[in-house]
Structure 1
């Protein structure tokens, strides 16, 4: 159980990690909040520009983050690339949040200009190989998420509908190569990239990008902001892959994706789950998605969309936080399962052959 983590002081992944704005004291305090409600994992976004600018410094700051998370009993899933939000990222001071707008300052990695420029490929390869190679045997790293929502747009990728196919055509070969570069480094941790769109009830319904994501992943990951029935249906579909499953994004309270609805189901189905957000901050993800089109300038009434705590560690919903702590106390008494999504007696079994995978599917 975990969250997608960005410190409340950062509007995006660049502000989180740049030397001038990296805030290890705040990160430690907010990771302590995550641990206080039973979280044992976080999903964290990196960025290729940070490696190009200062690879040693960036690596050192990741080391600091992993050390802080480890002190709180938390392992980290690291995300290498992301196709959401602003298409032209730039280092340096980041913009202030737009009033009333959900996640107004997030940036893509790599940016669309880098996707279009073949001359950028060696730089991106160096980034993947460098980061994965450095941490490839680090037990504090839970998994590598190669690419977040590579097929996102136009609502969140800030591109026109007509541009989306062209962008997908650029992303697919780089996504495939990025999996290969990461695997070449022989990481001890599994690789994955989450699918999130459409009907997954049979493999022939998957898009070419989704087929690449699932085919290249060691563990299957997905995003879901639906209610318990939708979450369960998608788990049924993904069971055909016969591999461990992680939901790396969920929890949108007004949509019915709540902790109370999803986490007991995920626990019963032996699936790890990462909500979006922890402490309300500059990303403003407590505001609804609808604020992209209609900024919420009057202030949000009622339930937040994402996030759990306000500044200072005050719970948005005290009963919700108590539920999470209770769920963790139950988990503390449960048997230890070394690999999420796999029965305990299967952890020492020999890997399946391709024929066995096919039979299981």
Structure 2
């Protein structure tokens, strides 16, 4: 019965939105004009080294402007012009305080000439987020404390949907005309069911029919955000690519991808494989005639590197945002397989998976930072 109620509620909301005159997706001309005003976009998915997740970054007790200022200063030195930063719906329970801290973060970013892309929802990792003190990192495990937003309970509880709408419209509406913000990423990897996460014991407790629920909800999330008339573009990035599927043909899109492509003002995507596949995906996505930003890349063990990928991106004028900036509590310098086989008892990866800098701000690989500075003109 609960599942039926979820689907009924989402369908009802979709119908009511369809019957109301809503702002439309940006035209191709408007998207291209916006992109032409931006510098070449480069940056990282950013979380302070001291924060294990989105809540620890922005909750009052752990928000650390001094650390953020220091780390974004390092990013500025590399020529970063943007950063991708995750928010969380639970932060809206202290909406006044959260808006104040987000405003402070945006001031710090602007000081360093960085215009962040803000992520509203995320389907990855722990489906049971809770406010308050966050747990310590699990030894040897990649991103052991990252949180889904909304969590499984909210996603499957129709009584919480008005709260989710209030969060989207509250935060986007508060900053709808703010030139410090680059873009709103409305939902990160909405069709990710975390099949390779949670380790050998398989404690995963994802909602049944999660993809179906979000496929029905995502158009409404776009509509909620558009309804407050943001001056910044909206997007939700696709991330499932392979050599045998040509995404230039809409017939090959999944139901979720169709929603993402047809509602995004600017196309965003993730790509963690080698340069030949990366260039192939760019060529296929260019058939949609929209500006593009790769909002996740750089997994050294997968052949996704700054030295190989940044020249390709510049060739096609694609913005680039890698995963991970400063090594810290997220531990994303460890590879994905650490969920199944934690790097403990002296085990260390042969190469770091993500991150550009060590915790003291020095480069993991000076050749990488040289490649970044060459691409950014620093």
**Normalised TM-score (structure 2):** 0.84
> Among 43, 48, 61, which residue is 1:2 paired with?
43
Partner residue of 1:293?
340
Gaps of 5+ in 2: 1-41
Larger displacement relative to structure 2 (186-195 or 317-326):
317-326
Partner of 1:316: 364
Out of 325, 332, 339, the position equivalent to 2:373 is 325
Alignment of 1:346-361 (within 5 A): none
> What residue is the counterpart of 2:54 in the other structure?
13
Q: Hey, what does 1:61 align to over in structure 2?
A: 101
Is residue 86–residue 157 contact of structure 1 (8 Å, CA) maintained in 2?
no
**What is the CA distance between 1:154 and its match in structure 2?**
3.3
TM-aligned CA deviation for residue 116 of structure 1: 0.4
SS in structure 2 at match of 1:137:
coil
Report if aligned partners of 1:225, 1:249 keep a CA contact under 8 Å in 2.
yes
1:120-131 aligned within 5 A: 120-131=160-171
Counterpart check, 1:248 vs 2:327 = no
Unaligned regions of 5+ residues in structure 1, if any? 333-361
Contact 2:197 2:340 in 1 (8 A): no
Equivalent in the alignment of 2:3: none
Matched pairs, number: 329
1:226 paired residue number: 273
Q: Find the counterpart in structure 1 of residue 259 from structure 2.
A: 212
Secondary structure of 1:92 counterpart: coil
How much does 1:239 deviate? 1.0
Of the candidates 123, 141, 158, which is equivalent to residue 118 of structure 1? 158
Give me the whole-angstrom Cα distance separating, in 1, the residues matched to 2:260 and 2:318: 18
CA distance in 1, matches of 2:196, 2:219: 22
* Per-residue Cα deviation, 1:44-72 (whole angstroms, up to 9, x for no partner): 00000000x20010001110111000000
Aligned pairs for 1:86-235 (under 5 A) are 86-155=126-195, 166-198=209-241, 199=245, 200-235=247-282
1:339 corresponds in structure 2 to none
Cα displacement string for residues 307-328 of structure 1 (whole angstroms, at most 9, x for unaligned residues): 0111111111112112212222
Evaluate the alpha carbon distance shift between residue 161 and residue 102 of structure 1 in structure 2; reply closer, same or farther with a 3 A threshold: closer
1:74 deviation in Å?
A: 0.3
Residue 173 (structure 1) shift: 2.2
- 1:281 pairs, out of 328, 336, 344, with 328
Question: 3-state DSSP class of the match of 2:286?
Answer: helix
Work out whether residues 84 and 157 of structure 1, in 8 Å CA contact, stay in contact via their aligned partners in 2.
Answer: no
Shift of 1:301: 4.5
Given that residues 191 and 217 in structure 1 are in contact (C-alpha distance below 8 angstroms), is that contact kept between their aligned partners in structure 2?
A: yes
SS of residue in 2 equivalent to 1:73: coil
Cα distance in 2 for residues equivalent to 1:211 and 1:40: 29
Q: 1:82 aligns with which of 122, 129, 132?
A: 122
Q: Does 1:40 align with 2:81?
A: yes
Match of 1:352 in 2: none
Distance verdict in 2 for CA 1:203–1:160, change over 3 Å: farther
| TM-superposed deviation, 1:161 | 9.9
